[in-house]
Amino acid sequence: MVKAQGSLKNVPAAIDIGGLEEQIQEIKETVELPLVHPEYYEEMGITAPKGVILFGEPGT
């Protein structure tokens, strides 16, 4: 999560990150799906993820 001090104009959007289409899609499915369709998780009897951990070298 980006902690903003004023404006978010300089924060890159997922569309600005090239070459990571598979990873971006996986993050979208992990983060957006439980928020948009919580019923999917209820039907399967599982708990939606509460968050994700991103790791790697800074700037990668």
- Residues 17-31 have pLDDT tens digits of 677 888 888 888 888
The reported pTM is 0.51
The answer to whether the CB of 52 falls within 8 A of the CB of 34 is: no
Residue 45, pLDDT > 90, answer yes
Going from the C-alpha of 35 to that of each of 13, 22, 39, 51, the distances in angstroms are 19, 20, 10, 11
Residue 21, pLDDT score: 85
Going from the C-alpha of 40 to that of each of 29, 33, 37, 44, 56, the distances in angstroms are 12, 9, 6, 6, 30
- Rounded to the nearest integer, the mean pLDDT of the chain is 79
What distance in Å separates the CA atoms of residue 48 and residue 15, rounded to the nearest whole number?
Answer: 25
Residue located via tokens 């499915």: 29
Residue 47, pLDDT > 80, answer yes
